Chains A and B, each alone.
Chain A
Amino acid sequence: MGKRVLLIEDEPNIIEAISFILSRDGFTVHTHEDGTTAMDKLATQLPDMIILDVMLPGRSGYDILRDVRATPETADLPVMMLTARGQTKDREMAERLGATLFLTKPFSNTEVRDHVRRLIGS
C-alpha cells in the first residue's frame, strides 16, 4: 500500500480529480468533507500527510490545522493548505499556524503531485 494522504476538502469534483491523480501516482487517498469531524477522522486513520482546504463547512481549515499541531499524534504531519484566497494575510496565517505548504486555487495537478512527492516521497 502506498503512502497515505488524507484530503480534507468539500468540493466533490476537486476531491475526485486530486484523488485520481494521486492514486494513479501510487498514493492511497482518503477523503473527508466536513470540518467539524475532521479531527475524529484523523484519530481513527492516521495518514502520512494532510491536504487541507481552508474553507470547509462547520469548521475552517485554520482551526483544524491548529488542532493538528496541538495533538501529539498529528503534530508532525506535513500539511498542505489549499485555499481560494491567495492574499498575503491568509498565507501568513497558514504559516503561523504551522502549515508545511500553501497552495492557492486554482492549482495545477502537477503542482499538487510534485508537492506530495516531495513531502512524503513517491
Chain B
Amino acid sequence: MANTHAPRTGSRIRARRLDLGLRQADLAQMAGISPSYLNLIEHDKRRIAGRLLADISLALQTEPGLLTDGAERTVLEAMQRAASEWEPGLAEVAKADELAARYPGWAGLIAAQAARINALETRAQMLTDRITYDPDLATALHGVISAVTAIRSTASILTSDEKIDAEWQQRFHRNIHDDAVRLAAESDALVTYFDAPDAGAGVPLSPLEEVEAVLDACGWHLDAIEAGQPATDLSRNLRKPAQEVFDTWAAVYARDAAALPIPEVEAAIAKHGYDLWGLASALGGDLAQVMRRLASLPATAGRPPMGLVLCDAGGFPTLLKQIPDFAFPRGTACPLWPVFTALGQAGRPIISEVAIPGHPQTRLTCWAIAQTVGDAQADRPPLLQATMLVMADSAPGQGPAVPVGVSCRICPRTGCAARREPSALGTAPADPL
C-alpha cells in the first residue's frame, strides 16, 4: 500500500543514507529489516513509524521528526548560504537540517536575518557606488568644496595682519557673500539628494526585484491586461526605473495575451496537459511565448506551479519567477541549469529533467530556448534572450537527471566539472546523483 500519510519520509531516509555513504544493505542490517523492505520504505511504498522509525533514525544519526517532517528547503538553503558567508567551520553546516527540523522558528529567524544582512550589504554597496560614481553627486560635492575653498582663502586674506586696500577689501567681502550664497544652495542640493525617497529603507533593492515583487503578489497574472486595460494600478507605486521594467514586461504580456487568449490555452492544456511541445504545437505560438503564457496563467486547482527565467546573453536573469523547490539566485546560479545550455545553442529547444542536491527524489522539468531579440544590426552580433519554464515533475523518471545546484558556494556535489568555487558546506561522502 502506498504511504499517503508521509510520502516524502522514504525519500528523506534514502537521501540521508546516501549522505552518510551507507549501502541499503548496511542500513537494513542496522535497523533489523531486510534490504528489500527498506527499498520499499525508501520508495515511499511502505509506511514507517514507531520503533522502526526510531531505529532507522538512530542508524542515520538524525531525529525521527526530521525524517518524517523534513525541513523547509528554502530555509535550509538560506541557512547554508548564511553559513557560507562566514568563516568556514564556524557553523555546523552538516547539522543545518537537524536544527531546522528541531527549531523551525530559530531556523526561520537565521534565514530571515541572513537575507536581511545580504539585502543591507547590497544596499550599502549600491550607496557606495552611487556616492563614488554618481555624476550629480560629484558635481554637488565639487560645488560645495569649491565654495568652501574660496571662502576660506578669501577670509584668510581679510583676517591677515597685512594691510589691504579698501577696494580689495570690499571686493573680497562681496566674494565671500557670493560664495556663502552659493554654498547654501549647494548644501540644499546635497540635502535634497540624500533625502530622495529612493534612499529610504525598505525599498526593494533593484528595479528587477521591485517588479518581481509586484508580479509575485498577483501570481504573475495581470487581470487588467487580460481585459485589454493597462496595468497602471500595479505600476503606479513603482519607482521610475522599475516602472520602465514593468512597462516592458507589460507590453510583452499584452502581445502574448493577444496571441494566446486564455480560453485557447486552457483548451490546449485540456488536450495535451502541461507538455510544452504539445501545447506549442497546438497553439502555434513560439516556444518562449508559450512558456511566458503558461507562467502567467491564473492559479487554479490542479495547476502545477510554474517558474520562469528570462536570461540575457551574459547569463544574467532579467526576470525571475520563483516557485517552491526552484530557487534560482540572481548572478550566482549553477551553470548547469538548462537556461544556460540554451544560450549556447540558440534556436534549439531543450527539455531537461534536473535534480536538486540532497533531494534526489525531487525532479524539476525544464524547457528552455534561446532566441534573438530586437532588430538585427549590421555591425553588432544578434542579441540573445533565453527563456526557461520550470515545473515540478509529478512523476519523476528513474533515468538520470541533470544534477544542478543552487550556487556553488552552497552546493555539496563532488566531482562537478562546472564548479566555479569551493563549497562552503564541505562535500557529501556520496553524491546522490
Contacts and interface: CB of A to CB of B under 8 A. Distances in A.
A105 B178 CA distance: 18
A84 B141 contact: yes
Contacts of A106: 145, 148-149, 152-153
B145 A17 contact: no
A88 interface: no
A24 B162 CA distance: 10
B178 A84 contact: no
Nearest to A15: B150
Interface residues on B, range: 20 to 34
Contact of B142 (A17, A24, A84): A84
- What is the size category of the interface that chain A forms with chain B? 10 to 19
B338 to A, nearest CB: 43
B156 A109 contact: yes
A10 B175 CA distance: 15
Q: Is chain B's binding surface mostly helix, strand, loop or mixed?
A: helix
Given A24-B162, A55-B142, A106-B145, A13 B179 contact: yes
A11 B156 contact: no
A16 B178 CA distance: 13
Contact of A11 (B150, B152, B157): B150
Contacts of A55: 142
B155 to A, nearest CB: 9
A14 B153 contact: yes
A18 B148 CA distance: 14
Interface of B: 141-142, 145-146, 148-150, 152-154, 156-157, 160, 162, 168, 171-172, 175, 178-179
Interface of A: 11, 13-14, 16-18, 20-21, 24, 55, 84, 105-109
Given A17-B172, A107-B152, A108-B153, 17 more contacts: A11-B149, A11-B150, A13-B154, A13-B178, A13-B179, A14-B146, A14-B149, A16-B154, A17-B156, A18-B153, A24-B162, A84-B142, A105-B149, A106-B152, A108-B152, A109-B153, A109-B157
